[in-house]
Amino acid sequence: MPSPDSPVAAPVPLSPAPLHAAPEIPPQPVRPDDRQGLAILLVCVTSLIFAIQDGLARHLSATYSPIFVTMVRYWFFAVFVLAMAARGPGGLRAASRSHYPVLQITRGLLLVFEIVIMVAAFVKLGLIETHAVFTAYPLLVVALSGPVLGERIGWRRWAAVGAGFVGILIILQPGLRVFSPWAILPVVAALMFAVYGLLTRMVSAKDSAEVSFFWTGIAGVAGITLVGVWYIEPIARADWPWMAGLCICGMTSHYLLIRAYSLAEASSLQPFSYTQLVWVSLIGVLLLGEEVRPNVILGMLIIVGAGLFTWWRSLQKARAETAPR
């Protein structure tokens, strides 16, 4: 599902990663035969798979606990992480050697329980509204980068953060309609994912992308299993194909995303992750009977626009800092 869902060793991307979903993907070295078009196509296909994954998670969590659904999904994801680590340079020993074990464990736990909250929000609010609010997480990364990392945030990016907050208010409409207390769930999830992103930036100072990827999966599966064993229940025979589809989607999307990052620079691919909003909306309306209210569309456009602006400003700042003087 959330999907997430961004390169570990690079600064946290300012456009939605394939959600909650997915723990971050370790970037691969860009090959000389950089194939931008194919990479963009792979990111768009991955966004579609993540949207399908979120739809499956919503369907299953209407019957089973979101904790249980996330735990089963993470069991399969942990196998994927271990296989990737075993194939890497130095094997499992190198992948598990971290300079920040406490922060890495914290990251893994933050992400897995953020996913649980998102899945619960899918059931209570629907895919469309949950994703619309969660899309503001890059703006929360910007807002927290100042006090947490001591970075200087200019007035333009602060204005984008403010615009994103307005977009959230337009979506939730507090005071104009009956306010559901469940509406806080995607806001909390976005905040958790933003903190997770900042911790990712902190550990990348000494830990490689492969190390962070390993700890994301292993710490996450350990944490969710300790809690999830109390929620284990029999899975109906009719639901096994849906559960299998959820796990297959998770592994397939991660493989395709790794492939995309091996073909082009991650920063050039980030805006295309927003296509997940299109797929989520189509799945929500056509398959799950959800409604796209005009205020949700307006708020979503404001948040996406603000996110793209902060992404563009970050690129401009990076280019200015690396330009020869």
What integer pLDDT is reported at residue 318 of this predicted model? 65
Is 10 within the bounds of a domain?
A: no
What integer pLDDT is reported at residue 26 of this predicted model? 52
pLDDT tens by residue, 193-203:
889 988 988 89
Buried b (16+ CB within 10 A) or exposed e, 61-96: beebbbbbbbbbbbebbbebbbebbeebeeeeeebb
What integer pLDDT is reported at residue 13 of this predicted model? 37
Is 24 within the bounds of a domain?
A: no
Domain count, the chain: 1
pLDDT tens by residue, 254-265:
788 777 877 877
Is 18 within the bounds of a domain?
A: no
Domain that includes residue 259, residue range: 36-322
Is 104 within the bounds of a domain?
A: yes
Is 17 within the bounds of a domain?
A: no
Is 15 within the bounds of a domain?
A: no
| Strand partners of residue 174 | 177
Tell me the residue type at 134. Answer: F
Is 218 within the bounds of a domain?
A: yes
pLDDT tens by residue, 162-208:
888 888 888 877 655 545 778 889 989 999 988 998 898 889 889 88
Q: How many CA atoms lie within 13 A of 38 on its CB side?
A: 11
- Binning pLDDT at 50, 70 and 90, where does residue 323 land? low
Residue range 306-310: average pLDDT? 82
Residue 275 has pLDDT above 60, yes or no: yes
> Are 18 and 50 a contacting pair, CB within 8 Å?
yes
Q: What integer best gives the mean pLDDT of the chain?
A: 81
